[in-house]
Structure 1
Amino acid sequence: MKTCFPHNTIAAVILSLPMMAQATTKQEVVAHYADLAHSVYSDALVTAQTLDKTIAAMIANPSAQTLTAARVAWKAARVPYQQSEVFRFGNGVVDDWEGQLNAWPLDEGLIDYVAGDYQHELGNDGAKANIIASNKLQVGNKEIDVTKITPQLIAGLNELGGSEANVASGYHAIEFLLWGQDLQGTAAGAGERPFTDFVKGDGCTNGNCDRRADYLAASAQLLINDLQWMEKQWSAAEVNNYRAELLAEPADNGLRKMLFGMGSLSLGELAGERMKVALEANSPEDEHDCFSDNTHNSHYYNEQGIYNVYTGSYQTVNGDLLQGPSINDLVVKKDAKAAADIKAQFETARTQVYTLVEAAEKNNQHFDQLIAAGNKAGNRLVNQSISALVQQTVAIEQVAKIIGVSNLNPDTADHQF
């Protein structure tokens, strides 16, 4: 929300800013962090509910227009959710939960039909199970009745047979059902599932359209259920939830969780798992939003989430700006010059990762094209983003030292940078 001041009060506001920063306490920063988390998860829930409505409308009346509307709603739902991932690594309640919503890459043959040359994880018994075309699954000695597709059934099929590639639920399962496989490799183009895959009766393509619709609807409902639970974990209106537990801890513990989450997302996850792995393998199968070609946005909003926590700010989906006591305020109080340099590093990283968005939107060079073996300029752009994220993590470690948080050690996910 844009705040406007009468002209004669501007000087007073500017003069008060250093005092506001000096008044910031560690406890206030952690409490505002919880407010940020609650706001982000609330937005993720609202956008998931909108997605559910557009999916229901598409199922009721399949057409090119209703399928497009559902795809647009899916992309909109990714905006707040990707900003929530900064809360993962430091908070076990989030990290233990997030796999059901955002696990990837997935062996999509577990869920639905795939192309004949489909490449899947070796040794995965569920890789071609095709739940949508089946009434029962046989995995090892275990037989599972999948006649009725429900949110509970789908949740229970995650990591079927012990394989992490068996992802049955979450944003990427829904993405696959809305777009289908992206068969373009590193060439331009995303998945091209026809709306007729959801037409019941005459006109159904690729069979089992009724079950495909049931699976999509149940997946959308499960997403809502999971987000409702997490929103309550951060709500000040709830008792005995994770927020209460976090705020009862010493403030330095809360700050360590904040910084560890920022550093681990910046380094091991975003620079490593989501960029470096895909780039080194030149593999579109390893890009984050591989069916929709939305990876550039998911990467950018991950970085925006890191920036949000550092600055204590978040722009909600309705356009309001939530702002409050921040880690940056604590650094300013200790060392104003270092604070300026560190803030500049965060700005540099955010600007650099945004070049991936510009490449997609201005030049039609999506992430799967940027990582192609012969695309030297694209490879360079991704490498520059990786380098900026590594330098941002160095800045995060510097912040920890300045404000007195020890033993940070952000997760590298076993990557060397």
Structure 2
Amino acid sequence: MNVALTFVTKLIPMKKTALGICVLASITFTACKKDKKEDETSTDQYAQQKTDIKKTYADMAFAVYKDSYTSAVTLQTACHTFADNPSQVNLDAAKQAWLDAREIYGLTEVFRFVDGPIDNTNDGPEGLINAWPMDENYVDYVVGEPNAGIINDVANYPAIDASTIVQANEFGGETKISSGYHAIEFLLWGQDLSAASAGQRPYTDYVVGGGGTAANQARRATYLKTVVDLLVSALAQVKNDWDPAIAGSYYFTFQELDNQTALRKMFNSMRVLAGDELAGERIYVAYENQNQEDEHSCFSDNTHRDIYLNAMAVENLYKGNYASPFGNNINGYSLEDLVGTIDAAKNTTVTARFAATMGYIAAMYHPFDQAIVLPAERPKVLDVVTSLQQEQADLDAAAAVFAITF
């Protein structure tokens, strides 16, 4: 969903007698800006390296979002095919397309938490892409409530369309999720009611007429197709915002930031994703509550992959590397390179912590909804939390190399 913002500047005529003063002030201001930029470049021996890091960041953001969009288009095709021709084969294909799409989207989340295109306070579409946790009965039936959800509420939601879904998203509470990956996940898997498997929604929930289960099968199919179309549109918006082929895109805006501001944004996105978001909101809350409703991908039992991919996203950004499944690989000058040049010990600490975190994640039991309740497995979840918190602290120490504090 694109929201166009127009800024109108009111021009106030100047008095003729003030013209010379205004022109002089303009010349003076311009000269000062030029002198400041030249001073920054001439006094910072690492100015070029920082410029190169900004370029790597922008290149990586575009590559990952482009790939995420591409995988979402594949998901869109699979969901439309299933909704139009419901069968077990087509449902399984749609589920696999969702899992494949998540493998890339999880790597994009390190570009959040800095008021960039994905979660800009004015028009960032993140809430339509990856909002969670989700009260599933807000969208469709659940056990004991066969008439629950927008899909079954014909009186209040007579039309299932993009406008309905967008307006309903988070209306009345942050768990009232109607859009994004997790709404699609629920529509494909249904509730996860078993410790041994993910959700087991039958494909017959989409079969109209004989053999169909649940109610409002046609509305459910329309909802699935509409919500995946919205996902593709939202990802296209972010992809385009980072596209170097589009004049004036954020790809250029970011690289025009002064080096200190840009580096602070990079470090902040990594530290927040690793510590506050992943260790805290996405793992510890579920660990503390021992409730699968608090896990990230609770319908598909894919939370262990969400955790791995978010942790890998932090490492990718620090190291300036991205291995693309579509050949859009990035390997540029990185924070690892520059921190290693300035303070090798701190750089070694950060990279060693990455390896430790990934080791703890690999040792964690999955599905995650069992890792948080099985007595023998819970300590391994806490190991991941503790390592990610230390990772945040180590990144803070690396940021301090550039006089950046949080």
TM-score normalized with structure 2 length:
0.84
Identical pairs, percent:
39
Give the superposition deviation at 1:371. Answer: 0.4
Task: State the alpha-carbon separation in 1 of the partners of residues 145 and 392 from structure 2.
Answer: 40
- Indicate the residue corresponding to 1:189 in structure 2: 197
Alignment of 1:1-80 (within 5 A): 25-80=49-104
Aligned position for 2:10? none
Q: 1:99 aligns with which of 105, 127, 135?
A: 127
CA apart distance, 1:348: 1.5
| Counterpart for residue 230 of structure 1 | 238
Q: Give the conservation status (yes or no) of the 8 Å contact 2:63–2:328.
A: no
C-alpha distance after superposition, 1:192-221 (max 9, x if no partner): 100001112221100111000000000110
Is the contact between residue 255 and residue 405 of structure 1 (CA under 8 Å) also seen in structure 2?
A: no
Which residue identity lines up with residue 58 of structure 1 in the other structure? F
1:287 corresponding residue in structure 2? 295
2-side partners of 1:24 and 1:383: how far apart? Answer: 41
Corresponding position of 2:348: 340
Query: Aligned match of 2:255 in 225, 241, 247?
Result: 247
Paired residue secondary structure (2:201)? coil
Distance in 2 (alpha carbons) for counterparts of 1:102 and 1:85: 10
Give how far 1:42 is off.
0.6
- Deviations along 1:54-104, one digit per CA (max 9) or x if unpaired, are 111212221111111110110000011111111111234322431211111
5+ long unaligned stretches in structure 1: 1-21, 119-127, 138-145, 361-365, 410-417
Q: Distance in 2 between matches of 1:116 and 1:285?
A: 17
Distance 1:237 1:151, change over 3 A: same
CA distance in 1, matches of 2:281, 2:388: 12
Q: 1:322: how far off?
A: 1.6
Q: How far 1:136 moved relative to its partner?
A: 3.4
Instruction: Check conservation: 1:24, 1:325, Cα contact below 8 A.
Output: no
For 1:168, the equivalent position in structure 2 comes to 178
Displacement of 1:376 in angstroms is 2.2
SS of 2:322's partner is strand
Partner of 1:406: 404
Q: Which amino acid aligns with 1:47?
A: S
What is the number of residues matched between the two proteins?
A: 357
Alignment check: 8 A CA contact 1:48 1:223 kept: yes
Equivalents in 2 of 1:345, 1:92: separation in Å? 27
Match of 1:158 among 149, 156, 169: 169
1:82 to 89, 106, 113: 106
Write the distance in 2 (CA, Å) between the matches of 1:405 and 1:56: 51
* Matches of 1:108 and 1:23, distance apart in 2: 50
CA RMSD in angstroms, aligned pairs only = 1.7
Aligned partners of 2:330 and 2:404: how far apart in 1?
Answer: 29
| In 2: Cα distance, 1:320 partner to 1:100 partner | 25
The runs of 5 or more residues in structure 2 that have no matched partner are 1-45
Is contact 1:179-1:191 (8 Å) kept?
Answer: yes
**1:31: how far off?**
1.5
* Residue of structure 1 equivalent to 2:396: 397
The 3 A distance-change label for structure 1 pair 281 and 117 is: farther
1:269 is aligned to: 277
Give the corresponding residue for 1:322: 330
Q: How far apart are 1:405 and its partner, in Å? A: 4.0
Of the candidates 277, 286, 290, which is equivalent to residue 278 of structure 1?
A: 286
Separation (CA, whole Å) in 2 of partners of 1:320 and 1:352: 29
Match of 1:132 in 2: 151
Residue 170 of structure 2 contacts residue 176 of structure 2 at CA under 8 Å; is this kept in 1? yes
Match of 1:179 in 2: 189
In the TM superposition, residue 378 of structure 1 has moved relative to its aligned partner by 1.1
Give me the whole-angstrom Cα distance separating, in 2, the residues matched to 1:387 and 1:55: 38
Per-residue CA deviation, residues 340-388 of structure 1 (Å, 9 max, x unaligned), is 23211122112222333xx33xxxxx1000101xx22211110000111
Q: Output the CA distance in 1 between the equivalents of 2:66 and 2:323.
A: 12
Structure 1 pair 254/211, CA: closer, same or farther in 2 (3 Å)? same
Q: Distance in 2 between matches of 1:77 and 1:231?
A: 15
CA distance in 2, matches of 1:101, 1:74: 13
Q: Give the Cα–Cα distance (whole angstroms) in 1 for the partners of residues 245 and 149 of structure 2.
A: 42
TM-score normalised to structure 1 length: 0.82
User: Structure 2 CA distance, aligned partners of 1:69 and 1:33?
Assistant: 34
**One-letter identity of the residue aligned with 2:176:** N
Aligned-partner Cα distance in 2 for 1:308–1:149: 39
Distance 1:320 1:238, change over 3 A: closer
| Structure 2 residue 339 is matched with structure 1 residue 331 | yes
- The Cα of 1:400 is off from its aligned counterpart by 0.3
